[in-house]
Amino acid sequence: MSQPIRSALVSVYYKDRLEPLVALLKEHGVTIYSTGGTQQFIEEQGAPVTAVESLTGFPAVFGGRVKTLHPTVFGGILHRRHEASDLQEAEQHQIPPIDLVIVDLYPFEETVASGALEQDVIEKIDIGGISLLRAAAKNFRDVLVVSSRDQYAAVTELLQAKGCATDLEDRRHYAAAAFEATSHYDTQIFRYMAQGTELSGAALKLSEKPATPLRYGENPHQAGTFYGDLNALFDQLHGKQLSYNNLVDVDAAVLLMQEFAAAGPAACAILKHTNACGVAQADTLHQAYLNALSCDPVSAFGGVIIVNKPVDAATAEELNKLFFEVLIAPEFAAEALPILQSKKNRILLRQKPVQFPAKQVKTLLNGVIEQDFDKVVEGAADFRTVTDSVPTAEEVAALEFALKVCKHTKSNTIVLARAGQLLASGVGQTSRVDALRQAIEKAHSFGFDLQGAVMASDAFFPFPDCVEIAGEAGIRAVVQPGGSIKDQDSVAACNRLGMAMVLTGVRHFKH
């Protein structure tokens, strides 16, 4: 049913975008109650306003911690206009009705993200605001609640169209939005307060927004939505909307490139279905891309490419020869962009610095599993040589490189590499021997000589067969986590074949 708005409580932290809504309320003679800075703002707009203190007969106390927490305010919001007893009590206690509540919340999440001191974070836990939102949303039969400045324009348009009145459907919609705002807010507070306590693992509280509908999910018959702020991570400079599968591959690409610091050599990775089909480092980005492409130019078709240096014109010219879905870079030279934008649907993403969550979450069965993000990657200092042969400095560099790729490749996996160059990988196999044979065959098919190359395995070798096959192919050094009861069999095989083997003690399964 349509219900006119005759009175409103307006108390907001962010006052931008509010002017048109205040002007509309003034135009329709709506009685406005307000507090502090919001009251001053409304007065500056030339609208009459009544201080909440005048309504309640009680001043704001405790440095403003208590302003609106009063029976007159909450009674005005919560009393039911269709209940005779509520109307009688409201009249008895001189509680005027409040038909519209415009309230936002203190910026708790933003204050946490700023690295502020705990005392400043705690002061941004909103008490009155969140209570007002919940009260107004609960009584949506009679009250319209506006919980965000993002709603001001739509609400102004709605009220203009309906003569400063609303329908029940309108009020229910904005009530749901208010409960979304309060639930998200409480989730952020819980996650902050529970850090370092036994409660941090007692319940999984997630609230991610905004929601971005995707064209479809993994396949066209599946609906898909991304929840999160992509704009905090990327500026999309060109191309069509990212799809579900694009996002999965982009995630894999970004995590892989984190292993190659921007301050180090130029690096390029090409991924297909979350696995790297080409990774290389070189003195220039142009050469790094050519080397990465040479790993597997067939799989690179339609893939996702990521680099750790700004894309220059020469590299852009080479990239433009290949059909790919997405290119991610920290920056694009002005002369490179027009070259890359020549293909209409090609997605170009400029990556911004961002800190990723410390936890990973995945739905499973009828619940959710969570784990720590795998931040470990082993270097030379972590290698324990267990063979008679000791890897050379060049082989150590190659083993470090191979491990970075191996960590981000689906299990079971074997990675064959030289320093700064992926030669081939066997991915997602049910047998490690199959993974190795796949990698060897792939390397040979693209003209790579494996003599003197190195091998990385994401888990231990239960038998010496992989070492023996690798030795026959020319592999000279191996890195693996170790931990098999038959580790010594693989070590002995390396010694027979004159190969070096190092153990890390760390497994990197990726399912």
**For 188-206, what is each residue's pLDDT tens digit?**
999 899 888 888 778 888 8
- Tokens encoding 412: 């079971």
* Contacts of residue 112, Cβ cutoff 8 Å, sequence gap at least 6: 121, 188, 192
Mean pLDDT, range 18-38, rounded to an integer: 94
Mean pLDDT, range 108-119, rounded to an integer: 92
- Mean pLDDT computed over every residue of the chain: 94
Determine the distance from the C-alpha atom of residue 367 to the mean position of all C-alpha atoms in its chain, rounded to a whole number. Answer: 20
∠ CA 113-117-122, rounded to 5°: 85
Kindly give the pairing relationship between strand 414-418 and strand 384-385.
unpaired
Q: Which of 137, 142, 109, 113 is nearest to 124 (CA)?
A: 109
Kindly give the pairing relationship between strand 31-34 and strand 50-51.
parallel
Q: Is the peptide bond before 231 cis (omega within 30 degrees of 0)?
A: no
Helix, coil or strand: residue 64: coil
Helix, coil or strand: residue 115: coil
pLDDT tens figures, 378-391: 999 999 999 999 99
The answer to whether 504 and 382 are in contact (CB under 8 A) is yes
- Please name the amino acid found at residue 244: Y
- CA distance linking residue 68 with residue 173, whole number of Å: 24
- CA distance linking residue 87 with residue 76, whole number of Å: 10
Q: Note the pLDDT of residue 494.
A: 97
- 328 backbone dihedrals φ, ψ, rounded to 5°: -120, 130
- CA distance linking residue 478 with residue 503, whole number of Å: 9
Helix, coil or strand: residue 435: helix
Kindly give the pairing relationship between strand 500-503 and strand 384-385.
antiparallel
Residue 77 confidence (pLDDT) above 90: yes
The answer to whether 478 and 449 are in contact (CB under 8 A) is no
pLDDT tens figures, 296-331: 999 999 999 999 999 999 999 999 999 999 999 999
Catalytic residue list contains 273: yes
Least confident of 64-78, 129-143, 236-250, 422-436: 64-78
Q: Which of 124, 138, 162, 205 is catalytic?
A: 138
**What percentage of the chain reaches a pLDDT higher than 70?**
100
Mean pLDDT, range 427-440, rounded to an integer: 96
Confidence tier at 221 by pLDDT (50, 70, 90): very high
Q: Which of 292, 348, 281 is nearest to 318 (CA)?
A: 292
Give per-residue burial for 228-244: e unless 16+ CB within 10 Å, then b. eeeeebbeeebbeebbb
* Contacts of residue 84, Cβ cutoff 8 Å, sequence gap at least 6: none
* Contacts of residue 511, Cβ cutoff 8 Å, sequence gap at least 6: 410, 411
Percentages helix, strand, coil for the chain (3-state, rounded to 5) are: 40, 20, 40
* Separation in Å, CA 286 to CA 35, 134, 169, 179, 277: 60, 57, 58, 51, 17
- CA distance linking residue 250 with residue 273, whole number of Å: 10
- CA distance linking residue 467 with residue 214, whole number of Å: 45
Kindly give the pairing relationship between strand 414-418 and strand 100-103.
unpaired
- Please name the amino acid found at residue 216: Y
Confidence tier at 1 by pLDDT (50, 70, 90): low
Confidence tier at 485 by pLDDT (50, 70, 90): very high
Q: Which of 124, 273, 343, 444 is catalytic?
A: 273
